[in-house]
């Protein structure tokens, strides 16, 4: 619950009891006030209400023992600088570079720096002659529509491509930022590849 201010916690409790103890309505009201991207969930509201009923307080309990140092201001600044230098580095590699655990780094990125991981968009690299070729193909298709059985002669098949030119796998590539950078990687229309 440490992400939420005292004012936000009071608002959560007030909304819960105003909506006759309805979790869904409380979450809806919270998202209306704090934005639709608010990460408030019904389980968060339920935990806060249970704490309020058990202790009569909305504050976190004090923990005994050594304070955690992985999310220190020095580590947060080091991560901020690292993101500014290379936003596309994976969490695993960045954690090794900064000597911070992966889970702590994930928390710093999301909870302290409020960053999100975005996928790279792949688009077809267009050549100057592509527009004319597409237009010519469309006109040819339109001419073929005169024949009634033309569409039944088109064959669609399933295939897999193994790229030989350093193809970007979008599933493994993330860019960290507070907003989507709309990173686009152009790829050749006919790259070297093996098709199965």
- Express each pLDDT in 107-149 by its tens digit: 999 888 999 888 877 777 788 888 888 899 888 877 877 777 7
Percent of residues in the chain assigned helix, strand, coil, to nearest 5 = 45, 10, 45
185 sits in which H/E element:
strand 184-187
Cα–Cα dist 128/136, whole Å: 14
pTM: 0.40
156: number of Cβ within 10 Å = 4
Complete DSSP assignment for 3-27: TS-HHHHHHHHHHHHHTTS-HHHHH
- For the stretch 33-86, pLDDT in tens is 776 656 677 787 788 888 888 887 777 766 655 555 678 888 999 999 999 998
CA angle (97 as vertex; 93, 101 as ends), nearest 5: 75
Supply the mean pLDDT for the chain.
78
């Amino acid at each position: 619950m440490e992400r939420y201010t005292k004012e936000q916690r009071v608002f959560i409790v007030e909304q819960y009891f105003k909506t006759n103890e309805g979790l869904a309505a409380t979450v809806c009201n919270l998202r209306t006030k704090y934005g639709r991207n608010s990460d408030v969930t019904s389980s968060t509201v339920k935990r806060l209400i249970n704490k309020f009923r058990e202790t009569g307080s909305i504050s976190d309990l004090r923990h005994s023992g050594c304070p955690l140092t992985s999310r220190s201001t020095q580590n947060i600044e080091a991560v901020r600088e690292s993101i500014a230098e290379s936003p596309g580095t994976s969490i695993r590699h960045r954690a090794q570079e900064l000597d911070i655990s992966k889970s702590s780094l994930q928390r710093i990125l999301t909870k302290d720096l409020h960053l999100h991981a975005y996928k790279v968009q792949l688009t077809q690299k267009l050549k100057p002659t592509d527009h004319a070729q597409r237009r010519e193909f469309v006109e040819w298709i339109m001419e073929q529509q005169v024949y009634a059985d033309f569409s039944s002669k088109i064959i669609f098949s399933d295939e897999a491509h193994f790229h030989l030119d350093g193809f970007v796998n979008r599933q493994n590539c993330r860019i960290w930022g507070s907003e989507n950078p709309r990173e686009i990687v152009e790829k050749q229309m006919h790259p070297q590849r093996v098709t199965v």
